[in-house]
């Protein structure tokens, strides 16, 4: 009974977390009639954890912690972390955003390395990887600045802040990288829903 209560409490706290997405500059009207927007991911200003560590500091600290528990585990995790951006986070953002747009029959698609009139810069600002201890867990959180620019002039046409997009799945997810990936998926989903709502 206690286990069921705890699981219910965790579920409630997870759903209570709300992503905050707000247009800070411009609007999304320029997307009307567009079929493809180029996407570039920028991790150069990313901070980690409540301490606002750099990525290098976080990787060094977490690697040492894992190696202290089981020699070699930290080194293995470090290699896995290095592939997270290209193999999990970026694809999650793109695939979920495009899935939501497709289901709504919206012709717009987000793609990397495309020659298009507009480019979306996904500037990753802050990440909290969360944790999962089977009975209790804390979802990941991903904060980004979504900046649409004119691909030729580089002028900003719209800027959106996305704060603490929650990254979680039903069941257990013991991988930091995959929990973070769900935060990117949530960001892509929320952006697509905002476009559907505001661009008629």
Average pLDDT of the chain to the nearest whole number: 89
Mean per-residue pLDDT, 135-153: 93
Banded pLDDT at 136 (limits 50, 70, 90): confident
Summarised one tens digit per residue, pLDDT across range 160-176 is: 999 999 997 665 556 88
Q: How far is CA 63 from the centre of its chain?
A: 22
Summarised one tens digit per residue, pLDDT across range 18-75 is: 689 999 999 999 999 999 999 999 999 999 999 999 999 999 999 999 999 999 999 9
Nearest to 43 by CA among 82, 74, 98, 3: 82
Give the start-to-end residue ranges of the domains of the chain: 2-198
Q: How many Å apart are CA 65 and CA 48, to the nearest integer?
A: 16
């Amino acid at each position: 009974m206690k286990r069921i209560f705890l699981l219910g409490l965790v579920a409630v706290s997870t759903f209570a977390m709300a992503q905050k997405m707000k247009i800070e500059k411009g609007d999304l009207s320029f997307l009307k009639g567009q079929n493809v927007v180029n996407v570039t991911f920028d991790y150069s200003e990313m901070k980690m954890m409540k301490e606002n560590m750099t990525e290098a500091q976080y990787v060094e600290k977490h690697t040492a912690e894992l190696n202290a528990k089981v020699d070699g585990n930290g080194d293995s995790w470090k290699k896995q972390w290095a592939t997270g951006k290209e193999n999990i986070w970026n694809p999650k953002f793109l695939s979920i955003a495009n899935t939501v747009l497709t289901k709504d029959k919206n012709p717009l698609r987000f793609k990397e390395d495309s020659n298009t009139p507009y480019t979306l810069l996904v500037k990753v600002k802050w990440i909290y990887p969360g944790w999962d201890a089977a009975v209790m867990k804390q979802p990941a959180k991903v904060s980004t600045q979504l900046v649409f620019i004119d691909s030729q002039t580089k002028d900003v046409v719209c800027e959106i802040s996305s704060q603490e997009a929650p990254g979680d799945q039903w069941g257990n997810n013991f991988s930091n990288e995959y929990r973070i990936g769900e935060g990117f998926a949530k960001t892509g989903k929320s952006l697509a829903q905002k476009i559907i709502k505001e661009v008629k």
